[in-house]
Structure 1
Amino acid sequence: MKIMIRKDSAGILSAYVPKKDLEEPIVQMDKPHLWGGAITLANGWRLELPDLASDTRLPITVEARRLEG
């Protein structure tokens, strides 16, 4: 699914899922950087993100895969 990841002025990362009209803060990352691992949103969804460079600029729209569990 396509998601947009952005960082607000307070430095909080969030993910927006246009198909669901859902925006949630990112509360956990499996890796020290955002890319190439799984993230957890505040609503409990876990998403696997593509492996991009750690200095990739935000906001960005990427293809993510929703993980079960």
Structure 2
Amino acid sequence: MKVMIRKGADGILSVYIPKKDLEEPIVSMERPTMWGGLVTMANGWQLALPEMPDDTRLPITVEARRTTTGEEV
């Protein structure tokens, strides 16, 4: 699914999923740089993100894969 990842003015990373009109903060990351690993959103969903360079600029839209169901919206 297409997701947008951005960093707010407060420094918190969040994921926006347009098809669900859902925006949630990222609460944990499998890797320090986030890319190529799993991220967990505040609602419990886990997304597998693609490999990207560590210095990738945000905001960015990427193709991610949802690996858990978490809370249903």
Please give the TM-score of this superposition, normalised by the length of structure 2.
0.92
Sequence identity percentage: 67
Alignment correspondent of 1:2 = 2
| 3-state SS of 1:10 partner | coil
| 3-state SS of 2:55 partner | coil
Alignment correspondent of 2:47 = 47
- 5+ residue gaps, structure 1, are none
- 5+ residue gaps, structure 2, are none
2:44 maps to a residue whose letter is G
Q: Distance in 1 between matches of 2:15 and 2:52?
A: 16
| 3-state SS of 2:24 partner | strand
Cα distance, 1:34 vs. partner? 1.3
Alignment correspondent of 1:25 = 25
Please give the TM-score of this superposition, normalised by the length of structure 1.
0.97
Q: Distance in 1 between matches of 2:23 and 2:13?
A: 11
| Alignment root-mean-square deviation, CA | 0.8
Cα distance, 1:10 vs. partner? 0.8
